[in-house]
Amino acid sequence: MTTPDAAAARVEVLIEQLRAGPDPRSALVADELVRCLVQLYGEGLRRVVERLGPEGATALCDDPLVESLLLVHDLHPAGPRERITRALERLRPRVGELDLLGIGDDGVVRLRAAGSRGCGSAQRSLIESAVRRVAPEAVRVEVETPPPLLQVTRRPG
């Protein structure tokens, strides 16, 4: 199934090809073409969501593709706090306890990982991509971790 992310990746590859070509100006034209259509369809979606009202819009979000399109255009019926909290709940079995500390006016999402499983870089990127998926307006995701406990392991061998 196609997704907005896959479509965006394809668009960026094509625009990059034009930018590297003999006339880089064509990349700017292509950029403007995409902008024209994305904004037109965005305006259409905005009117659809407006007509459906909050309940109808929430029902639309049952379809993951439609939900991600609503996110692209800032039309999702749930606010970022609600979306992020729900995403953290889904992550809990894999990364442990996570709290949303806040979303700054600067677009920085601050989280606290309290779980005993620590927070390695792989987990960090897992958390970050989960947050970005439901809150593309996030500029940065910061994860606070408690100071590491002294780990006692058996000497190998």
Rule CB under 8 A: say whether 78 interacts with other proteins.
no
Q: C-beta of 29: minimal distance to other proteins in Å?
A: 10
Closest CA to 37 of 76, 77, 72: 72
Q: C-beta of 19: minimal distance to other proteins in Å?
A: 5
Q: Tokens representing 18?
A: 């034009």
Closest CA to 133 of 70, 59, 49, 55: 70
Rule CB under 8 A: say whether 128 interacts with other proteins.
no
Beta bridge partners of 102: 110
Please report where in the chains the tokens 């971790």 appear, as a residue: 145
Q: Which stretch binds other proteins (CB under 8 A): 27-35, 53-61, 77-85, 89-97?
A: 27-35
Q: C-beta of 10: minimal distance to other proteins in Å?
A: 11
Q: Tell me the helix, strand and coil percentages in the chain, rounded to 5.
A: 60, 10, 30
Size of the site for other proteins (CB under 8 A): 26
Amino acid letter at 41?
A: Y
Residues with Cβ within 8 Å of 79's Cβ and at least 6 positions away in sequence, in order, are: none
Of 35-74, which residues contact other proteins (CB under 8 A)?
A: 35, 38-39, 42, 72-74
Nearer to other proteins, 28 or 114 (CB): 28
144/2 Cα distance (integer angstroms): 34
Q: C-beta of 27: minimal distance to other proteins in Å?
A: 6
Given the rule CB under 8 A, which residues bind other proteins?
A: 4-5, 7-9, 11, 19, 24-25, 27-28, 31-32, 34-35, 38-39, 42, 72-74, 132, 136-139
